[in-house]
Amino acid sequence: MGRRTFSAEFKREAVKLAKQVGASRAKVAKESGLHPNVLARWVQLFDSGKWNETPGAPIRNEQQLEIERLKRELNRVKAERDILKKAVAYFAKEPA
């Protein structure tokens, strides 16, 4: 079973319902078919400004997307560097 994906509008609506006065996040999560921790994370991301609450706009702004892309690239380059370090150490050993 893979991860479920939700549309930006679904996420916005779930957060909007969870942030209403007197609304229980657990109840909103259950009614929406979500785990309460997922809804709590969405609310946190919207509150921190990492996600855009404007309807019709992408969830993440362009700056956040660029940061995520650069982090992925950095992780890839670090992995390549580590592989090269191991290769150099292996080939630098003198034959016994």
Q: Please, what is the average pLDDT of the chain?
A: 84
Residues 24-37: pLDDT tens digits? 888 999 888 999 99
Q: Which residues contact 36 (CB under 8 A, 6 or more apart)?
A: 25, 26, 29, 30
pLDDT (tens, 9 = 90+) of the chain, 96 residues, equals 677 888 878 888 888 889 888 888 889 998 889 999 999 988 888 887 777 666 666 666 677 778 889 999 999 999 999 999 999 988 888 776
What was the pLDDT predicted at 56?
A: 63
Rounded CA gap, 12 and 34, in Å?
14
Q: Which residues contact 10 (CB under 8 A, 6 or more apart)?
A: 32
Rounded CA gap, 19 and 63, in Å?
26
Rounded CA gap, 11 and 2, in Å?
19
